[in-house]
Amino acid sequence: MIYKEFKDKKLSALGLGAMRLPVIDGNDAVIDEEKTAQMVAYSMAQGINYYDTAYGYHSGNSEIVMGKVLKNYPRDSFYLASKFPGYDLSNMDKVEEIFENQLKKCQVEYFDFYLFHNVCEMNIDQYLDEKYGIFDYLIKQKKNGRIKHLGFSAHGNYDTMKRFLEAYGEYMEFGQIQLNYLDWTFQQAKSKVELLTEYQIPVWVMEPLRGGKLASLSEENTAKLKELRPDEGVPAWAFRFLQSIPEVTVTLSGMSSFEQLKENIHTFEEEKVLSENEMKTILDIAAQMIRTTALPCTACHYCTSHCPQELDIPALLALYNEHCSTEGGFIAPMAMMAYAEEKKPSACVGCRSCEAVCPQQVKISEAMEDFAKRLKA
Ligand code: SF4
Ligand code: SF4
């Protein structure tokens, strides 16, 4: 196992994400505890020391099962991370109640790592609103030793993350973002890494395989990669890409089977950084994948002043692209919650004034109509 230095700790470069644990009868709320215990035992034996759960994973049962399983190991043999569930606004005024409950659920006296969960457009105002006292409470827990390291995870856009960092950046010890070779440009992951670096915050990675999308590629792209590294499987390329980014400290993978776990641990036995040519090849593959699923909006903003509805067209198209490329997913609907009704894609009146000035000839009105339909579905 590769280890990374973080303050006084050595963290395994691969962490076990407890959001896609094996379940019984396909029911996400019913975790297969026996299989989970076997996976954790194997992880421990292979040197994984970072375990990442959250209040809401598996309908609240991830924390309970991870607590039960990890109870069998000395407390100083693993690092446990959990998160404050600010993705649900009804939790905002319950930070103390939820935090106390989380410690009980996980059967621990402290969290090694604790995060503001999913800082995004929908909850940034509340996260920053002093009346909820979330930041103050978590800082207090850090002072009294019940949180060893405080950080945040973010699925939001760059500007939202910047706002969060402007307020709390100096107190954040790590930042967890969606990072993989597809999102490097698509979700501005590269810019987000640079932003974190400005604040000297190390990067924790989630969705290294983009929810499994990067676990297999087209035959043509697979052949290109095989030619460069005959012994490396397609999923390993996603991890090699991350190993090539020096700012990345921990990569979390939500593994739901023993096979995946073994394969990923094998990949993390050794660091095999991509060469310049290999990096170019994988990013070219990503660009080609994006081209085939996304509209070519460059966010030039020429169109916005022509929209009678004053829609933020580039922002909506970015979310539309995200939504189409993931064939659904939660990011766009979540971001949409921060939009007033009259600023949503459904507010488009189809006048096409925007299209008349778009240098990329994006069929904006059709995209808005389709996006509105998809969001309703
Ligand atoms: S077609 Fe829709 S998005 Fe484009 S200018 Fe008209 S109202 Fe705005
Ligand atoms: S004019 Fe076209 S490319 Fe520019 S922001 Fe609008 S949709 Fe995107």
Domain ranges of the chain: 3-282, 303-376
**Which of 220, 251, 250, 253 has its CA nearest to residue 234?**
220
Lowest model confidence (mean pLDDT) among 24-33, 228-237, 322-331 = 322-331
Q: Predicted confidence band at 213 (pLDDT cuts at 50, 70, 90)? A: confident
Separation of 160 CA from ligand 1 center, angstroms?
25
Ligand 2 atom with the shortest distance to the CA of 296: 3
Question: Is ligand 2 within 6 A of the CB of residue 316?
Answer: no
pLDDT of residue 163 exceeding 90, the answer is: yes
69-112 pLDDT tens trace: 999 999 999 999 999 999 888 999 999 999 999 999 999 999 99
Q: Give the number of other CB atoms < 10 A from CB of residue 128.
A: 16
Question: Is ligand 1 within 6 A of the CB of residue 307?
Answer: yes
Lowest model confidence (mean pLDDT) among 202-211, 220-229, 244-253, 277-286 = 202-211
> Which is higher by pLDDT, 262 or 121?
262
The mean pLDDT value of the chain amounts to 93
Question: Is ligand 1 within 6 A of the CB of residue 365?
Answer: yes
Ligand 1 atom with the shortest distance to the CA of 353: 5
Per CATH, the homologous superfamily of domain 3-282 is: NADP-dependent oxidoreductase domain (3.20.20.100)
User: For atom 7 of ligand 1, which residue has the closest CA?
Assistant: 348
Mean pLDDT of 156-171: 94
1-27 pLDDT tens trace: 999 999 999 999 999 999 989 999 988
Encoded tokens for 47: 């040197």
User: For atom 6 of ligand 1, which residue has the closest CA?
Assistant: 351
Distance of CA 23 to the CA centre of its chain: 22
**Which of 284, 280, 287 has its CA nearest to residue 186?**
287
CA dist., res. 377 & res. 372, Å (int):
9
CA dist., res. 213 & res. 229, Å (int):
20
Question: Is ligand 1 within 6 A of the CB of residue 357?
Answer: no
The pLDDT score that the predictor gives to residue 334 is: 87
Question: Is ligand 2 within 6 A of the CB of residue 356?
Answer: no
Mean pLDDT of 196-212: 92
Counting ligands in written order, which one lies closest to the CA of residue 348? 1
> Which is higher by pLDDT, 175 or 210?
175
Q: Predicted confidence band at 154 (pLDDT cuts at 50, 70, 90)? A: very high
Sign of CA dihedral 160, 121, 251, 147: positive
Question: Is ligand 2 within 6 A of the CB of residue 24?
Answer: no
The pLDDT score that the predictor gives to residue 190 is: 92
Q: Predicted confidence band at 204 (pLDDT cuts at 50, 70, 90)? A: very high
Question: Is ligand 2 within 6 A of the CB of residue 216?
Answer: no
pLDDT of residue 188 exceeding 90, the answer is: no
Question: Is ligand 2 within 6 A of the CB of residue 158?
Answer: no
Mean pLDDT of 253-268: 89
271-324 pLDDT tens trace: 999 999 999 999 999 988 888 877 878 788 889 989 999 999 999 998 998 898
pLDDT of residue 63 exceeding 90, the answer is: yes
CA dist., res. 327 & res. 36, Å (int):
29
User: For atom 2 of ligand 2, which residue has the closest CA?
Assistant: 358
The pLDDT score that the predictor gives to residue 352 is: 95
Question: Is ligand 2 within 6 A of the CB of residue 311?
Answer: no
Ranges of H-type helices in the chain: 33-45, 61-70, 95-106, 124-128, 134-143, 158-168, 183-186, 189-198, 219-228, 234-243, 258-267, 276-293, 313-325, 331-336, 353-357, 364-376
pLDDT of residue 120 exceeding 90, the answer is: no
